[in-house]
Amino acid sequence: MNHARPVLILGTRTFAVEVADLASDIGGVTIAGFVENLDRDIAGTRLENLPVHWVDELAGLAQTHAAVCALSTTHRARFIEQAAAHGIPFATLVHPSAHVSRSAQIGEGSLVSAGAIIAAHAQIGRHVIVNRGVLVGHHTRIGDYVTLGPGVNIGGCCEIGTAAYVGIGAIVLDKLAIGARSVVGAGAVVTRPVADRVQVMGVPARVTREGIDGR
């Protein structure tokens, strides 16, 4: 976890404001501002009384700052790659009310929000969003760029593929795999493996769309 440097939040929407609030509870973390990469008119303004930078300004900030991405979409990889190209390192943020097993691993740039529990030997990839109240079971592996919505419950020994999106309150039973870039709808109960690039919804969860690209 990189707490030595002030942190810049990639994003300027409401979730970025929430992440700034969560980060303010973490000892040793200073939020220095926000970063925009789509709307040049937003750059140079202020959000939560902090400056909003244009993404290209990261080249001049990379030696003194770290970043974390606060876009809930699994397509945030694009923004993260833009930032990484300017040489900025990434902070890993874990809220003090979260419980992370000593044997669990959290990848760089990931966010573990308030009330989350990461069980023994779980592996959380890079740039993962573990939202408030999420439960991740023992020996479960979460791939890079995954989003776990509030209240998600992932059983033990599961595998969640790269850039998958698991919606608010969804449940994934033990020893199941969710494919890369798939979407599990809010409140769904997953009782069997989910292939790559499909959307599943309902109780039990069933495929409702195919050929998708995350969310």
**CA atoms within a 13 Å half-sphere pointing along the CA-CB vector of 121:** 7
Q: Token pair 């995350």 is at which residue?
A: 214
Closest among 171, 146, 152 to 72, alpha carbons compared: 146
Cα-flanking dihedrals φ and ψ of residue 94, to 5°? -125, 120
d(CA 120, CA 45): 43
Closest CA to 183 of 171, 197, 170: 197
| Separation of alpha carbons 204 and 193, rounded Å | 12
Place of tokens 């009310």: 97
Closest CA to 107 of 162, 47, 65, 34: 162
Which residues are designated catalytic? 138
